[in-house]
A and B are shown apart, each in its own frame.
Chain A
Amino acid sequence: MSVGTEIWLFSVSVIASAVGGMLGMASGIFIVPILTMLCHVDLRNAIGASIVSVIACSCGSAAAFLKERLTNVRLAIVLETATTAGALTGVLLAGRIPKPGLFFMFGTILLLSAWQMVARRNDPVSFRSHSSDRDSRVRELDSSYPDHELGLDIAYRVERVPVGLILMYVAGLISALLGIGSGVLKVPAMDSALRLPIKVSSATSNFMICVTAAASAGAYFVRGEIVPAITGPVALGSVVGAILGARLLVSISNQRIRLLFAAVLIAVAAQMLFAGFAKQ
């Protein structure tokens, strides 16, 4: 592969990852569409490159959340049993799902992301309302996090872990099939099932993504499906883009900008769905 192509892949990945990161999403979501649509990379090679860059971004950004004590590491390892099991299932299915099917799935995930971007997330519960101590087993996962605005530690409970595990299994499966972090599926799991504070669910989801992705990326790696000339520049570009995106995150709370990006997501989704039809 030529020097020009590698620099092009690197630059495109920087932009894709920075835009994803700016929106507070797993930065992988734009990598696959851009690689397939703009760079004409084969879908399966793009998915392989993307899943490796998802590991790089998740590992790289986890440290900051851990240091702020936002990540619930016990909850993460419990939920990782489900996400890695989902990834394992995805590895088994990956070769059996035809490309149009993958394009359709990707388009759907992008539409879901657009919807999530427009719908504002609120903290799922007020922390005064404690349920009774029916299930003492789950209580070991409860924790607290420091809130800098209020200047105190806020205790929270982890609810309905079994429902959370089921949703995480699906997230792991989609992550392995499409080469994305599938934060878009983890967010509803964390919000509606486990009822975690937003800061805790973002940090914990980010922490889990690299382990989930390693389970599928490892399998694709030993299968020889990962192309170094594509994956190397893409992984480096997304690490750089993720750092840039995190810096720009501040300015994106504006509702108008969110709507603009939701429109971009819908346009990309339409492209992916169209590609699915065209390839049938």
Chain B
Amino acid sequence: MNRRTTHTEGRIESVLATALAVGTWLISAVISAGVLLSFFPAGTPYGSQVIMAGIGLFILLPITRVILMLTLFVGIREYKFAGVAAFVLAIIIASLVIGALYK
């Protein structure tokens, strides 16, 4: 396994690191805003809606990470690993569908 260069190796990691770090901070800010909104007693359905949106985004963040890995692997022509990423994505989608259909 010598066709990987250290150049491409570091790049995948740093792209994923940035995406996950930025995503976590942004979504934490959204949930914080929702929690603060819910402290106001008058007319507060917004608070829990904003929190719910933040939670939804937190669930989408790892899914985005898998999609990102898929495209990065395609970019460096490691189609086998791109295929594995696509398979993981398919299982997650299946889990969401099952969650929606069966209790």
A contacts, CB < 8 Å to B: 1, 3, 6, 10, 52, 55-56, 58-60, 62-64, 66-67, 69, 71, 73-74, 77-78, 80-81, 84-85, 87-88, 91-92, 95, 139-140, 142, 210-211, 213-223, 226, 228-229, 231-233, 235-236, 239
Task: Fill in one digit per residue for B82-96: 1 if any A CB lies within 8 Å of its CB, else 0.
Answer: 001101100110111
Q: Are A81 and B88 in contact (CB under 8 A)?
A: yes
- Chain B residues lying within 8 Å of A222, measured Cβ to Cβ, are 96, 99-100
Q: Are B96 and A218 in contact (CB under 8 A)?
A: yes
- Chain A residues lying within 8 Å of B13, measured Cβ to Cβ, are 66-67, 69, 71, 73
B53 to chain A, nearest CB (A): 9
Minimum CB distance partner of B82 in chain A: A77
Q: Are B55 and A235 in contact (CB under 8 A)?
A: yes
Q: Would you list which residues of chain B between 35 and 65 have a CB under 8 Å from chain A?
A: 35, 38-39, 48-49, 51-52, 54-56, 58-63, 65
- Chain B residues lying within 8 Å of A64, measured Cβ to Cβ, are 17
B contacts, CB < 8 Å to A: 1, 9-10, 12-14, 16-18, 20-21, 23-24, 27-28, 31-32, 34-35, 38-39, 48-49, 51-52, 54-56, 58-63, 65-66, 69, 80-81, 84-85, 87-88, 91-92, 94-96, 98-100, 102-103
Q: Are B92 and A218 in contact (CB under 8 A)?
A: yes
26 residue pairs bridging A and B, Cβ less than 8 Å apart: A52-B59, A77-B69, A78-B81, A80-B66, A88-B94, A88-B95, A88-B98, A91-B95, A92-B102, A95-B103, A140-B1, A210-B20, A214-B63, A217-B59, A218-B63, A218-B92, A218-B99, A219-B96, A228-B34, A228-B51, A228-B55, A229-B51, A232-B35, A235-B28, A235-B54, A239-B24
Q: Are B103 and A63 in contact (CB under 8 A)?
A: no
State in angstroms the CA–CA spacing of A156 and B9 once bound together.
16
Q: Which are the 5 A-B pairs with shortest beta-carbon distances?
A: A219-B99, A232-B51, A66-B17, A63-B21, A214-B62
- Chain B residues lying within 8 Å of A214, measured Cβ to Cβ, are 59-63, 92
State in angstroms the CA–CA spacing of A74 and B69 once bound together.
9
Among candidates B16, B81, B98, residue contacting A74 with C-beta atoms closer than 8 Å = B81
- Chain A residues lying within 8 Å of B61, measured Cβ to Cβ, are 55, 59, 210, 214
- Chain B residues lying within 8 Å of A66, measured Cβ to Cβ, are 13-14, 16-17, 20
State in angstroms the CA–CA spacing of A81 and B83 once bound together.
11
Known: A63-B18, A229-B51, A239-B28. A91 touches B99 (CB 8 A): yes
Among candidates B1, B35, B92, B102, residue contacting A211 with C-beta atoms closer than 8 Å = B92
B22 to chain A, nearest CB (A): 9
B89 to chain A, nearest CB (A): 9
- Chain A residues lying within 8 Å of B80, measured Cβ to Cβ, are 140
Q: Are A62 and B63 in contact (CB under 8 A)?
A: no
